């Protein structure tokens, strides 16, 4: 949006009109919300954009939004009339018409504040800047307005009024008010442009910025915006198709073909989409495309690009995408060669189309609610049965079902009500490499795919899957500028989705009948605290601590959580001021590198001598992260498992000392494997309450199987400790190696009697090796005995059958084997610890790697399943 505005300031009339269209719907709806009848809406919008344009050169891009809304407010009085009953018919529901009438009875300052915050979705702070009031004054106006509405509408509680306002907001958003773009500039101004066709439009030198803006204003006024090109009106700027220079000029034939292609797409779209023509003509995307057609195929554009037909064709390709159906957009995208901002505009247009189609389809479902309620399977309304389209349905439903592919939508059952809803079906887009290579478009994909996220009944996305959507929204909002369209669109969606995930509602209660938080909500909150960025973590950490301490029944932080707290946290993070409010937020990680070939271990020797005697963590205060890694490695070289255990952070997954010593195995020394150790500046990251840093190992032999260095955890008093991580690594090229002999010996002893006591001091890698050796020998019973409980409970025949579906190597084929654990999501994603047995087979100069899951059980480490990765 900001770049578009800057182009408009530099003299691009197309950019200005496109910028106007970005705001047109909301400006028109804002006028209606403040008493301007639909018949006067076009003139009101013209007045707003024309006055805004007059001050265009002096407006900073980051202030454009505020200035536009200030202009919109200033023009209300000139067009405000008491809305007649007939004019309120644009609102579909009687309740919304009652709410609208009550809003009109409010004093103008109350009504303006209410419209800005409740319908235009500005924050109180933004509304205060627009109206030049304080935030407290805005909040007072909102409070008094809602109190008056509660009384006028006969509501018992203000919460009921809030619901009515939510419903009204949805109805207002459906209103499509015309925008007479072709009247934006007067006929006199148009003639001035025609009299001076050679007049320069803008200056390019940065040193003449002020002159550029002043000149651009005069040029805009003299321009023709939206002048239509009529094929029957001869245009001297278009070369005849018989001219000698047809390969280098835009010809009449080209324009005729482009116009015919546009018209063909437009005429065929209603039938392809499965909707009636009357509904189609009301779509904002159709009106925007028609307006764009006037510009792209107008005299001015053709004259400008008459000698550049390739550029003209590219503009036409973008125009055709605007009028195409969603499916047509997907099919045409690869050949349109869009890049950068064009891709973002393409996705905005795709979102607009699918949103309007979702709303139109909802109205069709509503009209045929009785017939659709009979489409059931096992007593439940079935979207699958409807999509199968094997029954007799009303004609309008049949047409809609036939148009779903063209709409790029699919049908789902509403989670709380007996009705169907629509959802975008974007699988084709996910397969498009060009779109996926563009970062912003990927954000668009993930955010659009699950829309709508909620309605007046609550969440439409299952709570179990909401954490991923919230994570993507948070990440996009932190990346986006506050002035971007994506930020403005998704900020209110993010806030409401998060609120429903935390607080639920009457249809989707968070607490069960005993007052305990339901398991699915607990899991989602934990996932959000582990997988997201600082804003959600900041709000959730105290809630989780207090809830867990109370047995998931109460939390003071939960009770005090306010709706706008998430916005506050998001703003703090964007300003770089939130991290310091989180645990260990003041840790600073400086770049560091240790060359292992020239490493002097004297410092580590001294640190080990003092720490291994007392295990006093004060000795580690202020010690750089890489020094802790080297200290841990030094103790490993001395086979001092106890000192290594004391260097582990006190985390829930840290085993008892005796258990740790029982399964501890010496790792290869870093000096043997590593060429260097390195930590990048500010490379730390947060998971929940903890801050971590992962040093990088530069291996001498890059062909050796990779292993990570110890991850470090920030602890109290500027101390880094080692995260609990199990690692074992073995080279099995030598079949007489000690590890191979030990696995063979353990297998012989265990396979005879399956005595569980024999496994008490066996390491995870040794369990894995025994398992693969049992597979090699066809010993299914031993394989089952080395597996977790659910595997052991299977019938022997079923277990053997599942073996036939897996393909991974025998023990004797292995060239290397290692075991490692990732504790990242322990206790949050689930209540157990998983590890990976990584094996490698060398064949004919190449190698194949497999990972087999293992899980920590009450008995120790066991094989989780038989699926290799």
Rounded distance, CA 567 to CA 138, Å?
Answer: 17
* Torsion-angle region of 434 (φ positive above 0: left; ψ -120 to 50: alpha; else: beta): alpha
Domain boundary among 679, 698, 725: 725
Rounded distance, CA 223 to CA 243, Å?
Answer: 30
- Mean pLDDT, all residues of the chain: 83
Better-predicted residue by pLDDT, 298 or 323: 323
Same domain, 633 and 738: no
Same domain, 601 and 716: yes
Same domain, 13 and 159: yes
Highest-pLDDT range among 43-47, 188-192, 231-235, 799-803: 43-47
Same domain, 172 and 27: yes
Q: What is the pLDDT of residue 207?
A: 34
In 248-368, where does DSSP find H-type helix? 252-273, 277-282, 284-296, 299-304, 309-323, 326-336, 341-367
Same domain, 513 and 549: yes
Same domain, 683 and 563: no
Highest-pLDDT range among 202-206, 341-345, 630-634, 792-796: 630-634
- Residue 489 within a domain: yes
Residues 186-197: what's their mean pLDDT? Answer: 41
Highest-pLDDT range among 146-160, 449-463, 515-529, 794-808: 515-529
Alpha-carbon distances of 492 from 1, 147, 243, 497, 537, rounded to whole Å = 18, 23, 56, 8, 19
Alpha-carbon distances of 682 from 589, 590, 628, 679, 691, rounded to whole Å = 5, 6, 17, 9, 11
- Residue 403 within a domain: no
Residues 577-605: what's their mean pLDDT? Answer: 90
Decide: residue 388, CB within 10 A, 0-12 exposed, 13-18 middle, 19+ buried.
Answer: exposed
Classified as helix, coil or strand, 513 is coil
Portion of the chain with pLDDT greater than 90, in percent: 44
Residue 619 pLDDT greater than 90, yes or no: yes
Residue 780 pLDDT greater than 60, yes or no: yes
pLDDT band per the 50, 70, 90 thresholds, residue 674: confident
Same domain, 6 and 32: yes
pLDDT tens for 494-517 read 999 999 999 999 999 999 999 999
pLDDT band per the 50, 70, 90 thresholds, residue 628: very high
Same domain, 638 and 657: yes
Lowest mean pLDDT among 71-85, 239-253, 403-417: 239-253
- Residue 512 within a domain: yes
Rounded distance, CA 426 to CA 67, Å?
Answer: 37
Residue 196 pLDDT greater than 80, yes or no: no
- Residue 777 within a domain: yes
pLDDT band per the 50, 70, 90 thresholds, residue 706: low
- Residue 328 within a domain: no
Portion of the chain with pLDDT greater than 70, in percent: 87
Residue 187 pLDDT greater than 70, yes or no: no
Classified as helix, coil or strand, 583 is coil
| Percent composition of the chain: helix, strand, coil (DSSP 3-state, to 5) | 55, 10, 30
Same domain, 43 and 139: yes
Domain boundary among 183, 213, 230: 183
Structure tokens at 397: 């439903």
Instruction: Kindly write down the DSSP assignment for every residue of 713-741, as one continuous string.
Output: EEETTTEEEE----EEEEE-SSTTSHHHH
Alpha-carbon distances of 22 from 65, 402, 610, rounded to whole Å = 11, 31, 68
Q: How many domains does the chain have?
A: 4
Residues 738-764: what's their mean pLDDT? Answer: 93
Backbone angles phi, psi at 231, to 5 degrees: -60, -30
pLDDT tens for 126-141 read 999 999 989 999 999 9
Rounded distance, CA 60 to CA 131, Å?
Answer: 18
Give the up-direction half-sphere exposure of residue 849: CA atoms within 13 A in the CB hemisphere: 12
Structure tokens at 235: 């245009």
- Residue 72 within a domain: yes
In 153-208, where does DSSP find H-type helix? 158-174, 187-195
Residue 684 CB partners (closer than 8 Å, separation 6+): 587, 589, 691, 692, 693, 714
- Residue 744 within a domain: yes
Lowest mean pLDDT among 19-23, 142-146, 443-447, 830-834: 830-834
Of residues 555, 492, 490, 477, the one with CA closest to residue 521: 555
- Residue 748 within a domain: yes
Structure tokens at 168: 């009204």
Same domain, 662 and 522: no
pLDDT band per the 50, 70, 90 thresholds, residue 522: very high
Please count the other Cβ atoms lying within 10 Å of the Cβ belonging to residue 483: 15
Residues in a beta bridge with 690: 687
Same domain, 745 and 696: no
Q: What is the pLDDT of residue 432?
A: 66
Lowest mean pLDDT among 245-249, 447-451, 719-723, 801-805: 245-249
**Domain limits at 718?**
592-725
CA 343-347-352 angle, 5° bins:
150
Under 8 Å between Cβ of 326 and 407: yes
pLDDT tens for 380-409 read 899 998 988 777 889 999 999 999 999 999
Rounded distance, CA 362 to CA 14, Å?
Answer: 34
Under 8 Å between Cβ of 806 and 866: yes
Which CATH number goes with the domain that contains 639?
3.10.450
pLDDT band per the 50, 70, 90 thresholds, residue 246: very low
In this structure, the dihedral spanned by the alpha carbons of residues 373, 375, 377 and 382, taken in order and rounded to 10 degrees, is: -80
pLDDT tens for 85-113 read 546 677 877 788 889 999 999 999 999 99
Between β-strands 696-699 and 712-715, what pairing exists: parallel, antiparallel or unpaired? unpaired
Residue 492 pLDDT greater than 50, yes or no: yes
Rounded distance, CA 775 to CA 623, Å?
Answer: 47
Q: What is the pLDDT of residue 550?
A: 97
Q: What is the pLDDT of residue 209?
A: 29
Classified as helix, coil or strand, 554 is coil
Structure tokens at 406: 């063209």
Residues in a beta bridge with 840: 816, 849
Rounded distance, CA 507 to CA 467, Å?
Answer: 20
**Whole-model pTM above 0.75?**
no
Same domain, 18 and 162: yes
């Amino acid at each position: 949006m900001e770049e578009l505005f800057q182009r408009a300031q530099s003299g691009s009339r197309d950019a200005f009109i496109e910028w106007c269209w970005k705001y047109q719907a909301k400006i028109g709806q804002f006028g209606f919300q403040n008493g301007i009848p639909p018949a006067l809406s076009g003139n009101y919008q013209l007045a707003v954009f024309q006055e805004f344009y007059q001050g265009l050169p002096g407006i900073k891009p980051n202030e454009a939004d505020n200035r536009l809304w200030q202009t919109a407010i200033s023009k209300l009085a000139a067009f405000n009339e008491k809305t007649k009953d007939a004019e309120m018919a644009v609102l579909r529901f009687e309740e919304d018409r009652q709410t609208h009438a009550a809003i009109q009875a409010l004093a103008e300052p109350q009504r303006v504040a209410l419209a800005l915050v409740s319908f235009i979705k500005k924050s109180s702070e933004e509304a205060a800047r627009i109206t030049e009031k304080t935030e407290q004054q805005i909040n007072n106006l909102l409070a008094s307005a809602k109190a008056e509405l509660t009384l006028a509408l006969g509501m018992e509680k203000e919460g009921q009024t809030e619901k009515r306002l939510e419903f009204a907001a949805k109805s207002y958003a459906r209103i499509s008010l015309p925008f007479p773009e072709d009247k934006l500039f007067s006929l006199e101004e148009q003639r001035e442009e025609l009299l001076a066709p050679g007049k320069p439009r803008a200056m390019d030198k940065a040193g003449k910025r002020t002159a550029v803006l002043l000149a651009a204003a005069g040029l805009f006024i003299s321009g023709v915006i939206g002048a239509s090109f009529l094929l029957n009106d001869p245009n001297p700027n278009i070369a005849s198709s018989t001219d000698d220079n047809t390969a280098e000029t835009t010809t009449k034939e080209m324009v005729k073909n482009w116009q015919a292609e546009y018209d063909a797409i437009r005429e065929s779209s209603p039938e392809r989409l499965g909707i009636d023509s009357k509904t189609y003509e009301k779509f904002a995307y159709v009106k925007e495309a028609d307006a764009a057609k006037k510009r792209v195929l107008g005299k001015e554009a053709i004259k400008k690009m008459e000698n550049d037909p390739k550029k003209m064709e590219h503009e036409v390709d973008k125009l055709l995408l605007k009028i195409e159906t969603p499916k047509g957009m997907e099919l045409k995208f690869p050949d349109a060669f869009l890049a950068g901002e064009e891709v973002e505009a393409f996705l905005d247009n795709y979102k607009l189309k699918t949103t309007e189609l979702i709303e139109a389809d909802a109205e069709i479902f509503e009209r045929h609610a009785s017939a659709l309620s009979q489409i059931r399977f096992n007593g439940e309304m079935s979207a699958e049965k409807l999509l199968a389209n094997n029954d007799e349905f009303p004609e309008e439903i049949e047409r809609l079902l036939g148009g779903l592919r063209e709409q790029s939508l699919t049908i789902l059952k509403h989670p709380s009500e007996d009705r169907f809803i629509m959802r975008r079906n974007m699988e084709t887009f996910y397969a498009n490499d060009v779109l996926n290579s563009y970062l912003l478009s990927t954000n668009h994909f993930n955010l659009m795919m699950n829309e709508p996220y909620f309605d007046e009944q609550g969440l439409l996305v299952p709570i179990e899957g909401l954490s991923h959507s919230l994570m993507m929204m948070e990440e996009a909002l932190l990346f986006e500028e506050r002035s971007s369209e994506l930020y403005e669109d998704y900020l209110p969606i993010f806030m409401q989705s998060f609120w429903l995930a935390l607080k639920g509602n009457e249809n989707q209660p968070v607490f069960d009948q005993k007052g305990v938080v339901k398991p699915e909500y607990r899991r989602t909150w934990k996932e959000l605290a582990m997988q997201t960025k600082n804003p959600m973590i900041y709000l959730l950490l105290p809630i989780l601590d207090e809830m867990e301490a109370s047995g998931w029944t109460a939390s003071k932080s939960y009770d005090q959580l306010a709706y706008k707290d998430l916005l506050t946290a998001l703003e703090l993070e964007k300003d770089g001021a939130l991290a310091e409010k989180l645990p260990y937020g003041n840790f600073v990680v400086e770049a560091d590198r240790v060359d292992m070939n020239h490493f002097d271990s004297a410092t580590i020797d001294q640190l080990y001598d003092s720490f291994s005697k007392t295990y006093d963590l004060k000795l580690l205060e202020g010690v750089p992260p890489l020094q802790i890694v080297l200290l841990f490695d030094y103790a490993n070289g001395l086979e001092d498992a106890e000192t290594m255990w004391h260097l582990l952070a006190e985390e829930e997954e840290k085993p008892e000392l005796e258990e740790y010593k029982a399964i501890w195995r010496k790792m290869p020394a870093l000096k043997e494997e590593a060429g260097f150790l390195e930590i990048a500046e500010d490379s730390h990251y947060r998971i929940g309450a903890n801050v971590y840093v992962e040093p990088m190992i530069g291996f001498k032999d890059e062909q050796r199987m990779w292993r990570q260095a110890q991850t470090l955890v920030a602890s109290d008093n500027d101390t880094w400790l080692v995260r609990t991580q199990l690692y074992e690594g073995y080279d099995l090229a030598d079949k007489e190696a000690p590890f191979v002999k030990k696995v063979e010996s353990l297998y012989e002893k265990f396979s005879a009697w399956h005595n569980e006591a024999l496994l008490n001091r066996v390491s995870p890698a040794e369990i894995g090796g025994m398992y693969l050796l049992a597979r090699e020998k066809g010993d299914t019973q031993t394989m089952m005995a080395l597996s977790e409980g659910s595997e052991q409970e299977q019938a022997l025949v079923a277990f053997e059958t599942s073996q036939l579906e897996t393909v991974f190597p025998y023990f004797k084929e292995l060239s290397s084997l290692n075991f490692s654990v990732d504790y990242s999501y322990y206790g949050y994603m689930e209540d157990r610890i998983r590890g990976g047995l990584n094996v490698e087979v060398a064949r004919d100069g190449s190698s194949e790697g497999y990972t087999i899951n293992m899980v920590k059980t009450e008995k120790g480490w066991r094989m989780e399943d038989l699926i290799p990765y």
